[in-house]
Structure 1
């Protein structure tokens, strides 16, 4: 399948549902922030932002909260420009 034929996040309802499901967190504060963010921005997220969001969803709740509250900076596999950009958007949510 070529890149032009690939189904992106916005046109695939299954991918959108999966993203929202992954945003459900055990830590209520994370859950509220992520749900509010998706309610406001899900339809306009780029594929790069979806990738950043997915990478953040791989983190533990406490690490994610520290990043959202800017108590820590992204490290290792999430220390990427598009992840930093999405975190700035999450911090404003």
Structure 2
């Protein structure tokens, strides 16, 4: 079997790796969103996600736990999409956060 080395596959693997933060709460939100919703996003939203995961863990935590919202509209929108995805999927672990 050969491994997919297309640019899209490489980007997906990179995004998955960067979505694994080592903080359970962030992993619980970012990885399922990437796996279940990322492919359906508009290109602008995909770019916002790619930019978002470059942020510091403490900022991501504050935003994704709805303690604060990012100031930038595109970043705020992708954070809202991630939170909404967690709230509407069968993710009982998220409800305990």
TM-score by length of 2: 0.70
CA distance in 1, matches of 2:37, 2:24: 20
Q: Which consecutive residues of structure 2, in runs of 5 or more, have no partner in the other structure?
A: 1-6, 87-97
Identify the residue that residue 25 of structure 2 maps to in structure 1: 29
CA distance in 1, matches of 2:80, 2:44: 14
Q: 2:48 aligns with which of 31, 49, 52?
A: 52
The answer to whether the Cα contact below 8 Å between 1:26 and 1:61 also exists between their aligned partners in 2 is: no
Q: Does residue 43 in structure 1 map to residue 39 in structure 2?
A: yes
Q: 1:88 aligns with which of 80, 86, 91?
A: 80
Q: How many residues align?
A: 79
Q: Which consecutive residues of structure 1, in runs of 5 or more, have no partner in the other structure?
A: 1-10
Q: After superposition, give the CA deviation of every residue in 1:23-53 in whole Å (9 maximum; x if it has no partner).
A: 1102111011111111211221222112111
SS in 2 for 1:12: helix
CA distance in 1, matches of 2:31, 2:14: 13
CA distance in 1, matches of 2:46, 2:33: 12
CA distance in 1, matches of 2:28, 2:51: 18
**After TM superposition, what 4+ stretches of structure 1 lie above 6 angstroms from structure 2?**
none
TM-score by length of 1: 0.73
CA distance in 1, matches of 2:19, 2:46: 11
